[in-house]
Structure 1
Amino acid sequence: MDRFKAMQTFVQIADKGSLTRAAEALGSSLPAVVRSLAALEAHLGVRLFHRTTRRLSLTEEGRHYLPSAREVLLAADAADLALKAEAREPAGQLTITAPVLFGHMYVAPAIVRFMQRHEKVRCSVRLYDRTVNLLEEGIDVGIRISPLEDSSLVAQTLGTIRRVVAASPAYLAQHGTPRHPRDLAGAPCVRGRIDAPAQWLFRDGGKTISVTPNNRLEFNHLAPAIESCAAGMGFGTFFSYQVMPHVAQGRLKLVLEDFEPPPRPVSVIYPNARLLPARTRAFIEWMKMEFSGLRL
């Protein structure tokens, strides 16, 4: 059995969701694909797919095996590229993800400058306000505002971003400016995400303290939450870059700055592969240059 070819077959079946479509993608016959999968399952001693006449789905063992198989194939592809002339010049498709607003304000302009410098690179940019699985979703590089929890990825810190509390000057003039996080108890607050943490965290004398906000108004998107705070609906907690334009315009004011939690790291993340395509290496270095010393 050609184990490498069998892994390719397995990944294609998982990606295409069909033996027939996998055979077409591989330029092979359906019987050959079936034999390759059967040989791999016999070698591993487990079934990788549940198969019926109408449906094909991964087993639990198949779901565990898929990320490892992808890494083997990616490493092999990277090794091949390292020996080719193309590997010395950034070229080809690069898929990038970032948080929606941060991506719009900071990442997208940096990508435009990168592409102007490297004309043979094509980019697909996906902006999501959720944790993205790079390997499963076929993404080369991500920009993340949080500590890295996935040990299969590499993270290089680009800078840090503060978590702040803001309210409108008019609201503060009418109700007073809080001096301590406990002053927020009972005060009206605006929630920018339905799945946001139930408590707001602060630092007081080296200790972490928490406050349960009185969320009078909730949104599943940040933009209307920020606008509502600016309209005087109460306090909101946001990343600093999300509200700084409004602070600069005098529509919002930061409070409790002495009690802010530690800043969050902003990192460029990518799969833990020794050999990366030149376009990926070049983009990582570009982002490190663009965001050097970032403090927001």
Structure 2
Amino acid sequence: MDRWQAMRIFAKVAETESFAETARLMHMSAPTVTRIVASLEDLIGARLFVRTTRSVKMTEAGTRYFDDCRRILADIAEAEAAAAGSYATPAGTLAVTASAMFGQMYVLPVMTEYLDTYPTMGGRTFFVDRPVNIVEEGVDVAIRIGHLPDSGFTAIRVGSVRRVVCGSPGYFEKHGVPSTPADLKAHRVAASTSAWASPEWRFAGDQRVTIDAILQCNTNEAAIAVAKEGWGLTRVVHYQIGPALIAGDLQIVLADYEEPPLPIHVLYPEGRHAPAKVRAFVDLAVSRLRENRLLN
């Protein structure tokens, strides 16, 4: 008996829950499928299916064997694909998601470099400020900020982000630099309601300050623009003001009081079985994001 073929047939019966459907999909006769599964059961020494006139269900032993078969068959498929070259060259379309502002500022340059490197590839981006279900929405790679729940996906940490209070040098020359979180009450604040809906700003050591923001902006970009103009202070995630920090348009204050930073991960579902298009993008994204000093 061809053990590999028998495992393929068994796995297909487990997926379809039908000997007849398996026979049709694999271009075999139903009696042949039945015979091969029975021979496999004899070889293993355990019943893999419970058969009735109306259904085919796996036994407990069959369920365990099915998990092992899927892993073994995937390893074989990957080895064959690698030998044939299909896993060596990226092909198709790559879908990537990230939060809106982070995606535009830091992920989009990675995507365009990736597409320049692999001109036969296509790309799609989903830069939105909401959780994206990677599997249901057909996304290949996600860049996530924050602590990740257990998902079974592969996650590679590439940096971290801080919640920071910032203002322009001109503003600090006129109004002074706050030395403690409590000093913020004496300063004008433009708050971004999209990121900081709560008027309570939290700092290290469980310090909390209720901010009476004179100006409330519905986007981070607007709050940052106001701060750059020297009108007042704002609080954002530090990657959002990276270019302004480099240009000297903004500076961070109260750094000693910041909460612990949030991690940034590159996340993808297939692990070591990921196709070449995913692995190539992940390698590039990890390299580019880790070397960005604003994210570390």
| TM-score for the superposition, normalised by structure 1 | 0.67
Output the amino acid matched with 2:261: P
Which residue matches 2:228? 230
Which of 280, 284, 287 is residue 286 of structure 1 equivalent to? 284
What does the per-residue CA deviation read over 1:166-198, in whole Å, with 9 as the maximum and x for residues that have no partner? 123333233221001111136432222335252
Conserved 8 A contact 2:91-2:120 = yes
Conserved 8 A contact 1:158-1:294 = no
**Residue 76 of structure 1, CA deviation:** 8.4
Q: Which has the larger radius of gyration?
A: 2
Which residue matches 2:210? 212
SS at match of 1:152: coil
Alpha-carbon distance in structure 1 between the residues aligned to 2:75 and 2:94? 14
Question: Structure 2: which 5+ residue stretches go unaligned?
Answer: 1-11, 18-53, 59-69
Alpha-carbon distance in structure 2 between the residues aligned to 1:146 and 1:167? 25
**Residue 272 of structure 1, CA deviation:** 5.5
Which residue matches 1:251? 249
Alpha-carbon distance in structure 2 between the residues aligned to 1:81 and 1:122? 23
Which residue matches 1:126? 126
Alpha-carbon distance in structure 1 between the residues aligned to 2:212 and 2:73? 53
Which residue matches 1:202? 203
Q: Report the CA distance shift for 1:239/1:82 in structure 2 as closer, same or farther (over 3 A).
A: farther
Conserved 8 A contact 1:152-1:272 = no
Conserved 8 A contact 1:193-1:220 = yes
Percent identity between the two aligned chains: 33
Shifted more, 285-294 versus 80-89: the winner is: 80-89
Question: Structure 1: which 5+ residue stretches go unaligned?
Answer: 7-38, 45-72
| TM-score for the superposition, normalised by structure 2 | 0.67
Alpha-carbon distance in structure 1 between the residues aligned to 2:16 and 2:100? 38
Is 1:4 the counterpart of 2:15? The answer is yes
What does the per-residue CA deviation read over 1:246-288, in whole Å, with 9 as the maximum and x for residues that have no partner? 2344432321122222222221011265521121122111212
Which residue matches 2:61? none
* Aligned residue runs from structure 1 range 1-296, under 5 A: 2=13, 4-5=15-16, 80=77, 83-84=80-81, 85=84, 86-185=86-185, 187-194=187-194, 196=196, 198=198, 199-203=200-204, 207-271=205-269, 273-296=271-294
Q: Which runs of 4+ in 1 moved over 4 A?
A: 75-82
Which residue matches 1:33? none
**Residue 5 of structure 1, CA deviation:** 4.4
What does the per-residue CA deviation read over 1:77-122, in whole Å, with 9 as the maximum and x for residues that have no partner? 8975653331232211210012222222221112222222223322
Output the amino acid matched with 2:173: A
Aligned residues, how many? Answer: 233
Output the amino acid matched with 1:4: E
